[in-house]
């Protein structure tokens, strides 16, 4: 049996949820903007933000709305949160809208990426806009050989053209490119274009179904690096 490490030339990572803790970062940003909110209220407001983002991305995918980058969609989510919380300070709302640019990295992200980068070219492939991805990577301390935003495809994952950005940059057959994510829906999209797939377990991820059959399932980036011989 051929080991995965022997058939992979390039490793591609999802960012939001996989390398950074998006819900905790949003919760901290909302708590800063609405300091009087208790735990229950914060949970509700985080859920509202996530619902707005998901709904708008689905509308874009369905063709019911022209593509808008994550900055625009996040600003709409921030406005919805502000309206629900009775927040009227324009500057506070503007800072809240940029919450996606300062999300904390998972504890194993830095070390795991460092190990893998010694053996493989690493690509970040995110639904975050170009401007947001640049600042998010800097804030979270993520290190790449290349970072790609779905904004360059004018679509959001799991649209196939987004994975095409990474495949074009990798310039090797799709079966020699490994997509790593904490979201099974993301990996299904990657597998549909021929990429290999690795699921990384995160508390906020979308776990695989029994019929998914990804190439690898691991509990964190250290286990991923071990499996890939890094």
Residue 106: per-residue pLDDT: 98
> Would the pTM count as exceeding 0.85?
yes
Q: Quick one: 4-21+103-227 is in which CATH superfamily?
A: HAD superfamily/HAD-like (3.40.50.1000)
pLDDT category at 31 given cuts 50, 70, 90 is very high
pLDDT category at 23 given cuts 50, 70, 90 is very high
Residue 205: per-residue pLDDT: 86
Distances (CA, A) of 175 to 145, 186, 197: 20, 16, 9
Residue 89: per-residue pLDDT: 95
- Greater model confidence, 1 or 60: 60
Q: Residues 6-19: pLDDT tens digits?
A: 999 999 999 999 99
d(CA 65, CA 83): 23
Residue 1 pLDDT > 90: no
Q: Residues 70-100: pLDDT tens digits?
A: 999 999 999 999 999 999 999 999 999 999 9
Q: Residues 134-163: pLDDT tens digits?
A: 999 999 999 999 999 999 999 999 999 999
Residue 164: per-residue pLDDT: 98
Buried b vs exposed e over 40-53: b needs ≥16 C-beta within 10 Å?
A: eebebbbebbeebb
Residue 182 pLDDT > 90: yes
Residue 230: per-residue pLDDT: 85
pLDDT category at 2 given cuts 50, 70, 90 is confident
Q: Residues 97-139: pLDDT tens digits?
A: 999 999 999 999 999 999 999 999 999 999 999 999 999 999 9
Percent pLDDT > 90 in the chain is: 97
Q: Residues 188-229: pLDDT tens digits?
A: 999 999 999 999 999 998 999 999 999 999 999 999 999 999
């Amino acid at each position: 049996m051929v080991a995965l490490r022997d058939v992979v030339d390039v490793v591609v990572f999802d960012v939001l949820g996989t390398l950074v803790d998006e819900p905790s970062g949003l919760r901290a940003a909302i708590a800063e903007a609405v300091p009087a909110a208790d735990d229950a209220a914060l949970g509700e407001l985080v859920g509202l933000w996530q619902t707005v983002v998901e709904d708008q991305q689905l509308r874009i995918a369905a063709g019911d709305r022209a593509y808008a980058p994550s900055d625009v969609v996040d600003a709409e989510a921030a406005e919805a949160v502000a309206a629900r919380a009775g927040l009227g300070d324009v500057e506070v709302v503007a800072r809240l809208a940029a919450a996606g640019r300062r999300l904390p990295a998972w504890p194993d992200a830095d070390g795991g990426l460092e190990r893998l980068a010694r053996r493989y070219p690493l690509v970040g492939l995110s639904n975050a806009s170009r401007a947001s991805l640049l600042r998010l990577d800097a804030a979270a301390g993520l290190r790449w050989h290349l970072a790609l935003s779905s904004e360059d495809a004018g679509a959001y994952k799991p649209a196939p053209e987004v994975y095409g950005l990474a495949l074009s940059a990798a310039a090797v057959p799709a079966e020699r490119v490994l997509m790593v994510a904490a979201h099974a829906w993301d990996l299904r999209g990657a597998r549909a274009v021929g990429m290999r797939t690795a699921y990384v377990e995160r508390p906020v991820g979308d776990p695989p179904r029994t019929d998914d059959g990804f190439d690898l399932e691991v509990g964190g980036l250290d286990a991923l690096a071990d499996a890939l011989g890094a």
